[in-house]
Amino acid sequence: MQPMRGIGLKLASVLVFIVMQSMIKATAGHVPPGEAVFFRSVFAIPVIFAWLAMQGLLSEGVRVQAPLSHVWRGLMGTTAMGLGFAALAYLPLPEVTAIGYASPLLVVIFAAMFLGEVVRAFRIACVVLGLVGVTIVLEPRLTVLDATSATAAFGVMLVLAGAVFSALAQVFVRKLVLTENTSAIVFWFSVTSTALSLLTIPFGWAWPQGWDWPLLVGAGLLGGAGQILLTSSYRHADASLIAPFEYASMLFSLLIGYFIFAEVPTTTMLAGAALVILAGCLIIWREARLGLKREAARPALTPQG
């Protein structure tokens, strides 16, 4: 284990994904979200394929045991991606990031509903705290008093729907890891999302203009690189250690939103985001503590020879 290297790779992946989102946002006014999903997915495939080949994981990356589960995971994940990309046209980047933090909170609920995981009072309290934070972020947007607010409220609905589908995708991943290699999950998601994005062609695609081409292609390449960095980070450190660094995305999105898109965050948005981040970190901390207790109890439960 190399904890500092794992943390560095995690932070790098977070930054790469935020830059990728900002590139999609720059094209969101004239490139449909389904088309953006296509570019994000198809240009990630060669990056991931080359990485698997270099790591000697190519056979693992293409071998699947539960193809239908990959399709369902791809459907949920692709829908989440498309909704998130669509929301970037209506909301500032930091707000999309903050509201998207609802996804890991919803995973707790869906894991109890669909996987039978036990959710105790502490995690329920953390989920409630996090959802209060999300509500604080949402409150200024949930009004239809004028057209501008109505447009922002629509963006909020897109992000929330995306968070729901993202959480469902993560539940499918939890099931997939029981039978599938991580490399196969990563590779086939890009393939599936590319295929599914083509179904949006009848709803209208636009021929990319000018800077749209490098931005869209760059987003795809960065998406593949970000996935590789994220996967690699978990090889060097425990998930409980590096997971909280996901929330560095708020800092990165604030900086990019301010300097690139001239988006000034409100005090309300920052306060709500802080609550959501606190709730997420508490859940991660609790899971780490329970993991240590389970490891400590394991020798005692092992029959002695």
The one-letter amino acid code at 239 reads A
Is residue 44 a part of any domain in this protein?
Answer: yes
Is residue 69 one of the residues assigned to a domain?
Answer: yes
Q: What is the pLDDT along the chain (305 residues), one digit of tens a residue?
A: 788 898 899 999 999 999 999 999 999 989 999 999 999 999 999 999 999 999 888 888 888 988 999 999 999 999 999 999 999 999 999 999 999 999 988 988 898 888 888 888 888 899 999 999 998 988 777 665 455 578 888 999 999 999 999 999 999 998 898 888 888 999 999 999 999 999 999 998 999 999 999 999 999 999 999 999 998 898 888 777 788 889 999 999 999 999 999 998 889 999 999 999 999 888 888 777 766 555 554 444 434 43
Residue 169 lies in a domain: yes
* Gap between the Cα atoms of 31 and 212, Å rounded: 8
Domain count, the chain: 1
Whether 252 is in a domain gets the answer yes
Q: What are the tokens at 82?
A: 């498309």
Residue 299 belongs to some domain of the structure: no
Please check whether residue 297 lies inside any domain of the structure: no
CA distance 10 to 27: 26
Could you tell me if 131 and 163 are in contact, meaning their C-beta atoms sit under 8 angstroms apart? no
Q: How far apart are CA 254 and CA 269, in angstroms?
A: 11
Record the pTM.
0.90
The residue range of the domain holding 56 is 3-292
154 domain residue, yes or no: yes
| Rounded Cα gap, residues 273 and 99, in angstroms | 8
Residue at 254 is within a domain: yes
- Residue 198 sits at the vertex; the CA angle it makes with 63 and 193, to the nearest 5 degrees, is 35
Q: Are 46 and 170 in contact (CB under 8 A)?
A: no
